[in-house]
Structures are given as C-alpha cells and as structure tokens.
C-alpha cells in the first residue's frame, strides 16, 4: 500500500514539475517576444545616435542665433574688451602707400598715345607689335593683326636687352634688335635662343594728372576733389586696419580656461573635412592641367611631411577657432547684442544670395553656422563703433 502511495506521489510531483516547466517555457517565450523587439529598437536608436554624431554637421551645437548652445560663456572665457583702445596714427597708411594707390589709379586710366613727340623711358607702358625669328623661323610674335602687345619698360618681359633697345624711341618708330633669351626664361621653347626682333612701337600709354578733374571723371562716387579722394584712401586703410587690430586686441585681453567639448569635437570634424575638400579641389584642378593629382594626403596641403605634424597643427587651429567663438560670444552677450534670423537672411541678401542660393547654403552648412558668421561681424562692428581711438588725424577736403 505504501509503495502504491509512493508511486502516486511521484506521479503528482512529476506532473507538478511538468506544469512548472511549461510555465517557465511560456514565460521565456513571452520575455523574448518582448525583449528582442526592444533590443532591436535600442540597437536602431544607438545606430542613429552614432550616425548623427559621426555625420558632418556644421551647425551642430549652434543655435539659430549663431551661439554655442547650452553653455555659459563666462564658465569658459573672460574678455576685458572694455579696456581696448587705439592710437589712430598707428592704424593709418604710410604716405608711400597712399601715393602708390594713387599711382595705380592713374595708371588704370592711362590712354594710349601715338604722339611722336613722346619718348619711351624706363617705367613707361608701351604698345608694340613684333616678329622674332631664329634661323629663319618665327619663334614668337605679337603682330598688329593679332592686337600687338603692351609691355612695361624695365619689367624685362622679353629680357632687359629688348627694354634697352626700345628706350629712347618714339611712337611710330620701327627698330631691329638681336636678343638672346636667358637660359631660365619663362617660355622654355625660347630659353637660351638668340632671335632677331623686328619691332614697331605703336604708342605710349600716357598717365593722366591727379587733379579734381580726374577724380570727378573716374571716381565721382567716391569723392569730388583730389584731396577728398586721397582722404578716402586713408579712411579705407584705417577701417580695414581697425578690424584686425580689434581682433588681435580681443585675443590679448581674453583668458580662456577650457573648451566646450562637444562643440570643439565637432569643429575639429568640420575643419578636417574642409581640409579634405580643399585637397580634392586642388587635385581636380591639377588633374585638368597636368593629368595627375598633386596631393596624396591632407597634411601635404599645409607643407607637412607627416600626419603627426598635420594633427598637431589641426589641434592648434581647432583650439584657436573655439577661442574665437567663445570670445566673440562673450562680448556679444555682455554687450546685449541680438542676431535674429531676419538679420541673418538680410546679411546674406546683401552679399548677393537670393532665396534659392541661400536655401542651398543653409542645406549645406545649416542655419546656425551661417548665423555665427553674422554674429562675429556684429561684434566686430560694435567694437569698431565703441572702441576709443585717440589722436584723430583728418585731411580737409
């Protein structure tokens, strides 16, 4: 009897174990039916995050205002910009620079004269037509039918010997000159050859006099008098010198304690990609003309011989770029400036971008990256208006 009870008990225990096993199996099926989709979703989300972080995005970590997002600039940098000041005389061009610019303006409006009373001298720009032969064959020419050629005496465009042969002649003169080209002449087919030049001097370019009439004729939109035009040159140099001087002063007056890691890492990607794009651009250009690329690596673009040298340079450029962004954003916030989207669009409209071209620009770089450029300009413009400049020098028109 006890043996039968024992067998019955064993049967019940086995049945109970079977039910437990079935429940456990069912629970596992239920678990994996839920867990596997969740794991797949998690894997997809993780892949998207990794892709988004690796994808080049110029505007990542930038707001539409052009600011580095989610930071307090004071935690990273301080700039004593209110102590910046300049002496104006240090920002003005030299007299030689001004005179050189005036001379260039005059030469730009020189007119060809065939007045036989004129004499070709060093520095004159003249118009000639010629045929050069060597061994009875024409080796180079610029005939009158071909439009001739303008050269400047003293620039040795066809050797100093030809310049010397032309000096002292007058418009309408014909002359012969035997010229030996130097071995390192720019045109390899002529290098080292001796050629007989049959030259006709068509005319000499006459530079106008710098006076009020010249200014009103050619530069009326700039000034009304010669003195006014001279002053405009000085003012342009002053303004163009002031902005970089302010940029340098900001660097001197700033203290950067650390960098926002996310923004810095992304800027490094951007700069590295820009280097590769520039390398590809030059390689395509060289492929068109020489049939082979000129650069194999981005570091060759900067004249480095190793990847390590390039990497060190890239780190420096990245740090400098982050510092610039932090410093300008610091001043932007302290000065209470604003940079709404409408200003950003207006800025690029003034640069010549219509809606379609701006949309392409935004698609490539993102709005934040474009806005950051506008923000930077706004800060520099603000400082140009507010930074004290002493010892003002003026020229009365």
Whether residue 34 lies inside any domain: the answer is yes
Size (the chain), residues = 397
Q: How far apart, in Å, do the first and last CA atoms of the chain sit?
A: 133
CA 122 to CA 77: how far, in whole Å? 57
57 contacts 265 by C-beta, under 8 angstroms: no
Reading the block at residue 325, the tokens are 């962004």
The strand pairing partners of 255, in sequence order, are 78
Domain co-membership, 198 together with 300: no
Whether residue 373 lies inside any domain: the answer is yes
Reading the block at residue 362, the tokens are 């935004």
Reading the block at residue 250, the tokens are 């900001």
pLDDT averaged over 10-residue windows placed end to end, the chain, 397 residues: 52 59 57 49 40 71 97 97 96 96 95 96 95 94 94 93 96 95 90 95 96 97 97 96 96 97 97 94 88 88 93 97 98 98 97 96 96 98 96 56
Domain co-membership, 296 together with 197: no
Domain co-membership, 79 together with 152: no
* CA-atom Rg of the chain in angstroms: 37
Task: Report the run of H or E that residue 51 belongs to, with start and end.
Answer: helix 2-54
Domain co-membership, 78 together with 135: no
Whether residue 230 lies inside any domain: the answer is no
Domain co-membership, 260 together with 353: yes
Whether residue 11 lies inside any domain: the answer is yes
Whether residue 232 lies inside any domain: the answer is no
| Residue 387, C-beta contacts closer than 8 angstroms, at least 6 positions apart | 84, 85, 86, 242, 246
228 contacts 219 by C-beta, under 8 angstroms: no
The per-residue pLDDT for 23 is 59
Domain co-membership, 260 together with 326: yes
The per-residue pLDDT for 394 is 53
The per-residue pLDDT for 13 is 55
Whether residue 233 lies inside any domain: the answer is no
The per-residue pLDDT for 26 is 58
Query: Domain with 167 in it: what CATH number?
Result: 3.10.50.40
| Residue 21, C-beta contacts closer than 8 angstroms, at least 6 positions apart | none
Query: Domain with 293 in it: what CATH number?
Result: 1.10.3120
Reading the block at residue 35, the tokens are 């867990």
DSSP states along 293-336 = -S-SSHHHHTT-SSHHHHHHHHHHHHHHHHHHHHHHHHHHHHTT
Whether residue 12 lies inside any domain: the answer is yes
Torsion of CA 76, 80, 86, 91, to 10 degrees: 0
88, 146, 320, 389 from 251: Cα distances, Å: 20, 56, 10, 18
Domain co-membership, 278 together with 363: yes
Domain co-membership, 280 together with 353: yes
Look at the alpha carbons of 32, 35, 40, 46 in this order and tell me if their dihedral is positive or negative: negative
The per-residue pLDDT for 130 is 96
CA angle 139, 144, 150 (to 5 degrees): 80
Distance from chain centroid for Cα 161: 41
* List of long-range contacts for 160-165, beta carbons under 8 Å, 24+ apart: 162/197, 162/199, 163/122, 165/197, 165/199
Beta strand pairing call for 137-142 and 77-79:
unpaired
Domain co-membership, 26 together with 141: no
The per-residue pLDDT for 396 is 47
* Domain that includes residue 291, residue range: 73-84+253-390
The strand pairing partners of 178, in sequence order, are 196
Domain count, the chain: 3
The per-residue pLDDT for 51 is 39
Helix ranges restricted to H, 55-149: 95-108
Domain co-membership, 125 together with 193: yes
The per-residue pLDDT for 292 is 86
DSSP 207: P
CA 340 to CA 375: how far, in whole Å? 10
Whether residue 187 lies inside any domain: the answer is yes
Domain co-membership, 124 together with 187: yes
């Amino acid at each position: 009897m006890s043996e039968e009870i024992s067998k019955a008990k064993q049967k019940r225990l086995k049945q109970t174990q079977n039910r437990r096993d079935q429940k456990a199996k069912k629970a596992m099926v239920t678990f994996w039916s839920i867990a596997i989709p969740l794991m797949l979703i998690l894997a997809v989300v993780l892949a998207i995050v990794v892709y988004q972080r690796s994808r080049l995005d110029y505007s990542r970590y930038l707001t539409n205002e052009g600011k580095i997002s989610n930071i307090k600039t004071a935690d990273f940098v301080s700039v004593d910009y209110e102590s910046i000041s300049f002496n104006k005389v240090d920002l003005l061009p030299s007299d030689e620079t001004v005179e050189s610019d005036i001379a260039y303006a005059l030469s730009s409006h020189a007119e060809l004269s065939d007045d036989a009373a004129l004499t070709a001298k060093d520095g004159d720009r003249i118009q000639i037509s010629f045929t050069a032969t060597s061994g009875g064959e024409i080796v180079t020419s610029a005939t009158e039918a071909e439009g001739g050629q303008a050269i400047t005496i003293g620039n040795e465009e066809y050797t100093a010997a030809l310049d010397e042969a032309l000096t002292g002649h007058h418009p309408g003169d014909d002359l012969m000159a035997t010229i030996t080209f130097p071995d390192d002449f720019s045109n390899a087919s002529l290098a080292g050859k001796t050629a007989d030049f049959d030259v006709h001097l068509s005319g000499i370019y006459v530079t106008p006099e710098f006076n009020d009439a010249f200014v009103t004729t050619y530069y009326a939109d700039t000034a009304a008098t010669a003195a006014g035009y001279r002053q405009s040159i000085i003012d342009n140099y002053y303004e163009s010198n002031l902005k970089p001087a302010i940029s340098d002063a900001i660097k001197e007056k700033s203290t950067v304690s650390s960098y926002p890691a996310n923004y810095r890492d992304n800027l490094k990607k951007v700069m590295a990609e820009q280097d590769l794009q520039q390398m590809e651009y030059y390689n395509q250009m060289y492929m068109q003309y020489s049939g082979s690329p000129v650069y194999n690596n981005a570091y060759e673009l900067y004249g480095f011989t190793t990847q390590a040298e390039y990497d060190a340079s890239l780190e420096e450029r990245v740090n400098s770029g982050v510092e610039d962004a932090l410093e300008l954003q610091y001043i932007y916030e302290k000065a209470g400036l604003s940079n709404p989207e409408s200003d950003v669009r207006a800025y690029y409209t003034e640069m010549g971008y219509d809606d379609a071209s701006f949309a392409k620009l935004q698609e490539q770089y993102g709005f934040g990256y474009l806005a950051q450029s506008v923000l930077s300009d706004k800060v520099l413009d603000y400082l140009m208006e507010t930074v004290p400049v002493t010892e003002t020098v003026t020229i009365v028109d």
